[in-house]
């Protein structure tokens, strides 16, 4: 006699299958705007990451440039290298397409790294403020209040200037990208801290946190293992929207001439160069980098908007 | 009400003190104040004497107190690069920035209010929808691209407006204004529009959502039932009650306008404080950076105070002694 076989449970789904079955993916699938924005953002990111393979020219290597190619029009052959310049070339013979690929790679790296930096800083301080309370909370939130009333670009400029003063001049070029990431990151942490503190205040009185404390688990593991997963949702939405803002902020700083060094142009630097040729008719030097920046920022922004609505239970 | 005012004042003073402390720390610890004055070749003895003369040997609290006292009297030190008093540098460029910022704020408020009311009243109209979509795109565009786009259209293609500088200015005492000459007025147009753009979309969207909220309330429906004409309802009943948040946001944004002027001034080569600040960051001219920080801090604090006062005027409930603070 066989023991009655229990009805086979549904086979455990893989992570991918579960994701494809989720509400989140359904909402993505049914929103044309989200699909379009997601495709554009994914394509641009992919192209930027593969810049080294895709680009006809290493735009960051001054030795690869040929001055004879200067001011080549779009879809024409350069006089020096005889190569085809799909989007034209700038004054130094830098291929605009390559410059955009390398430039958006730099913009994305700075954007993602600075968002990660402000995320860690803001979430950490927000958890600390909400969980510990008292004077530490008052101090952290006071600083966040003051900082939130100043525009991010001003704070980033100040941090950048101070960092320049502290770093010896001959190391400015190599440290520029790191300084930029820190400056943009420091100018955006306050929003995360506020959000995380608010949800921490709610969560920390719930039974599971009380239970964990009663078991004698020390505060740090309680914050990281128990509280963090439960306050992370809104933070992701802010992070997506902030990625677009961080990319624009990087472009603005580079446009102002205080960002990346001129030998490694990001999208903002390219636009700054291009503006000089606005009156002389070399429109391609300005237009294509500007379009790339707008497409990148807009698609990430729209993705963030969609994510916010999709994760908002009130709108379901 | 007096307690409310006092609390605002104390808060303002505390914020200002914190900003001054940051400025002082930059002044004192970023770069070497002595090296930037005497240069590399000075002897150790010279340095020590200068250090004593400048008071750099005193305890930190004493130095901070002296910094505050000097700043309060308008002495903000010497620019490392230009060797001139920072206060004079700021003073020369102040009128350009103030003129730009105030005109932008005014434009943003007037146009933002009008468009906001319009899009709220004609909620489903074609034009209203076009305006709303355009504002969404506008929010995602970086300020400097809007400025460059305007330059391309109005300076390069149409040749109507100058693309940089203030044009001819008229001197009125220590103030300079571009409003009294034609080239000055023409030069103002594009920077003002560029700077106003972001605030404009913000105010418009705010007015629209507040109006829609108020239009759903009982008293508006009641007024409509009484047969009061739409115009009166919209402007006397609905708009008035949307003004409190609008004034707050506009007030708080005035500070941002001054800071965003950094970008606008660079795009249009506008000889204002923002452009000076960007230059000082590029060459690490710490005294100018510190002074600009104090200036922006002061503007924010004053604007916040004024906003609190306007609150009191607009919302009678706050005037009663028992009222909770507005924030």
Q: Where are the domains of chain B?
A: 86-285
- Between B56 and A219, the more confident residue is A219
What does the pLDDT look like over B306-320, one tens digit per residue? 877 777 777 666 665
- Residues A168 and A175: beta-carbon distance below 8 Å: no
**What span, in angstroms and rounded, lies between the C-alpha atoms of A165 and A198?**
37
Answer yes or no: is pLDDT of B270 > 80. Answer: yes
**What span, in angstroms and rounded, lies between the C-alpha atoms of A163 and B31?**
10
Mean pLDDT of the region B165-178 = 77
Residues contacting residue B43 through CB under 8 Å, at least 6 positions apart? none
A35–chain B nearest CA distance, Å: 18
Quote the ipTM score.
0.79
Distances in whole angstroms, Cα of residue B24 to Cα of each of A167, A265, B94: 19, 34, 22
B83-106 as b/e: b if 16+ CB within 10 A: eebbbebbebbbbbbbbbbebbbe
Mean pLDDT of the region B134-139 = 75
Distances in whole angstroms, Cα of residue B51 to Cα of each of B37, B44, B58, B70: 11, 10, 10, 18
Element (DSSP H or E) covering residue B92: helix B86-121
Average the pLDDT over each of A161-165, B88-92, B244-248, B281-285 and give the range with the smallest value. B244-248
Q: Sorting pLDDT into bands at 50, 70 and 90, what band is B322?
A: very low
Q: Which of A154, A165, A275 sits opposite B286 (nearest CB)?
A: A165
Quote the tokens at residue A24. 């989140």
Residues of A in contact with B260 (CB under 8 A): 151, 153
Q: Of B62, B97, B91, which is closest to residue B79 (Cα–Cα)? A: B91
A63-92 as b/e: b if 16+ CB within 10 A: ebbbeebbbbebeeebeebebebebbbbee
> Strands (DSSP E) along chain A, which ranges?
76-77, 84-85
- Contact yes or no for A271 and B30 at CB 8 A: no
Distance between first and last Cα of chain A: 52
Distance between first and last Cα of chain B: 14
Predicted local confidence at residue B39, as pLDDT: 64
Residues contacting residue A270 through CB under 8 Å, at least 6 positions apart? A90, A96, A99, A100, A103, A285, A289
Interface test with A, best of B144, B280, B286, B298 (most A CBs within 10 A): B144
Residue of A nearest to B143 (CA): A252
- Residues B246 and B113: beta-carbon distance below 8 Å: yes
Residues of B in contact with A271 (CB under 8 A): 144-145, 148
- Contact yes or no for A301 and B293 at CB 8 A: no
Q: Which of A251, A279, A298 sits opposite B140 (nearest CB)?
A: A298
Residue of B nearest to A163 (CA): B30
The residues of chain A scoring below 70 in pLDDT are 1-13, 59-60, 62-71, 75-76, 78-83, 85-86, 312-316
Mean pLDDT of the region B1-10 = 79
Kindly list the structural domains of chain A, giving each domain's residue range(s) and its CATH number in brackets, ordered by start.
32-57+87-315 (1.10.3720.10)
pTM: 0.82
**What span, in angstroms and rounded, lies between the C-alpha atoms of B267 and B32?**
32
Answer yes or no: is pLDDT of B41 > 70. Answer: no
Mean pLDDT of the region B34-57 = 71
Residue B252 touches chain A, beta carbons under 8 Å: yes
DSSP state of B317: G
Tally of helices (H runs) and strands (E runs) in chain A: 14, 2
- Between B35 and A154, the more confident residue is A154
- Between A187 and B167, the more confident residue is A187
Query: B86-285 has which CATH code?
Result: 1.10.3720.10
Residue B180 touches chain A, beta carbons under 8 Å: no
Predicted local confidence at residue B327, as pLDDT: 42
Residue of B nearest to A241 (CA): B140
Element (DSSP H or E) covering residue B171: strand B170-172
- The 3-state DSSP class for residue B201 equals helix
Strand partners, B172: B175
A170–chain B nearest CA distance, Å: 14
Predicted local confidence at residue A58, as pLDDT: 73
Quote the tokens at residue B201. 């979309």
Predicted local confidence at residue A12, as pLDDT: 57
- Contact yes or no for A286 and B148 at CB 8 A: yes
Predicted local confidence at residue B166, as pLDDT: 79
Mean pLDDT of the region B77-86 = 78
How many CB pairs (< 8 A) connect A and B? 95
Predicted local confidence at residue B325, as pLDDT: 46
Residue of A nearest to B36 (CA): A165
Element (DSSP H or E) covering residue B70: helix B60-72
- Residues A286 and A278: beta-carbon distance below 8 Å: yes
**What span, in angstroms and rounded, lies between the C-alpha atoms of A41 and A136?**
40
Predicted local confidence at residue A115, as pLDDT: 94
């Amino acid at each position: 006699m066989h023991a009655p076989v229990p009805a086979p449970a549904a086979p455990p789904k893989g992570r991918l299958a579960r994701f494809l079955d989720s509400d989140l993916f359904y909402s993505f699938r049914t929103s044309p705007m989200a699909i379009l924005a997601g495709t554009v953002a994914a394509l641009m990111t992919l192209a930027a990451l593969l810049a080294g393979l895709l680009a006809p020219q290493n735009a960051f290597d001054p030795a690869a440039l040929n001055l004879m190619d200067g001011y080549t029009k779009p879809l024409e052959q350069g006089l020096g290298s005889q190569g085809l310049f799909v989007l034209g070339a700038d004054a130094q013979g830098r291929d605009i397409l390559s410059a955009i690929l390398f430039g958006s790679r730099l913009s994305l790296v700075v954007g993602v790294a600075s968002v990660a930096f402000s995320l860690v800083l803001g979430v950490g301080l927000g958890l600390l403020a909400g969980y510990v309370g008292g004077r530490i909370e008052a101090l952290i939130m006071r600083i966040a209040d003051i900082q939130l009333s100043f525009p991010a670009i001003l704070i980033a400029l100040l941090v950048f200037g101070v960092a320049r003063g502290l770093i010896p001049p001959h190391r400015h070029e190599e440290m520029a990208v790191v300084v930029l990431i820190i400056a943009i990151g420091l100018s955006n942490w306050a929003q995360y801290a506020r959000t995380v503190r608010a949800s921490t205040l709610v969560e920390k009185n719930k039974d599971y946190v009380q239970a964990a404390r009663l078991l004698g688990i020390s505060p740090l593991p309680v914050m990281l293992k128990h509280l963090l997963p439960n306050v992370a949702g809104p933070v992701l939405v802010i992070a997506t929207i902030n990625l677009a803002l961080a990319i624009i902020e990087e472009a603005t700083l580079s446009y102002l001439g205080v960002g990346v060094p001129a030998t490694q142009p990001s999208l903002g630097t390219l636009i700054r160069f291009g503006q000089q040729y606005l009156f002389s008719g070399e429109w391609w030097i300005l237009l294509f980098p500007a379009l790339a920046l707008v497409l990148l920022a807009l698609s990430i922004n729209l993705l963030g908007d969609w994510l916010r609505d999709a994760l908002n239970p009130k709108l379901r | 009400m007096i307690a409310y005012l006092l609390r605002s004042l104390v808060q303002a003073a505390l914020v200002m003190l914190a900003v001054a402390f940051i400025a002082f720390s930059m002044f004192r610890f970023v770069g070497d104040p002595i090296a930037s004055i005497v240069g590399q070749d000075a002897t150790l003895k010279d340095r020590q004497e200068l250090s004593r003369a400048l008071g750099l040997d005193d305890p930190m609290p004493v130095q901070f107190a002296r910094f505050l006292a000097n700043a309060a009297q308008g002495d903000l030190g010497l620019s490392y690069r230009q060797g001139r008093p920072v206060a004079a540098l700021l003073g020369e460029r102040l009128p350009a920035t103030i003129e730009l910022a105030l005109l932008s704020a005014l434009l943003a408020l007037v146009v933002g209010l009008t468009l906001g009311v319009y899009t709220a009243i004609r909620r489903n109209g074609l034009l209203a929808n076009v305006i709303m979509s355009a504002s969404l795109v506008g929010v995602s565009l970086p300020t400097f691209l809007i400025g460059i786009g305007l330059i391309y259209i109005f300076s390069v293609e149409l040749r109507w407006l100058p693309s940089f500088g203030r044009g001819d200015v008229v001197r009125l005492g220590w103030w300079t204004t571009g409003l009294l000459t034609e080239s000055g007025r023409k030069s103002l147009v594009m920077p003002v529009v560029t700077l106003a753009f972001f605030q404009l979309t913000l105010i418009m969207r705010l007015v629209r959502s507040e109006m829609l909220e108020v239009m759903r309330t009982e008293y508006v429906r009641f007024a409509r039932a009484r047969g009061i004409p739409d115009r009166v309802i919209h402007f006397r009943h609905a708009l008035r009650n949307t003004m409190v948040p609008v004034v707050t946001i506009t007030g708080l944004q005035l500070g941002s306008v001054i800071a965003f002027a950094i970008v606008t001034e660079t795009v249009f080569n506008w000889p204002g404080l923002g452009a000076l600040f960007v230059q000082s960051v590029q060459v690490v001219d710490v005294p100018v950076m510190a002074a600009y920080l104090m200036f922006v801090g002061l503007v924010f604090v004053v604007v916040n105070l004024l906003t609190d006062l306007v609150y009191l005027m607009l919302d009678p409930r706050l005037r009663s002694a028992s009222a909770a603070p507005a924030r």
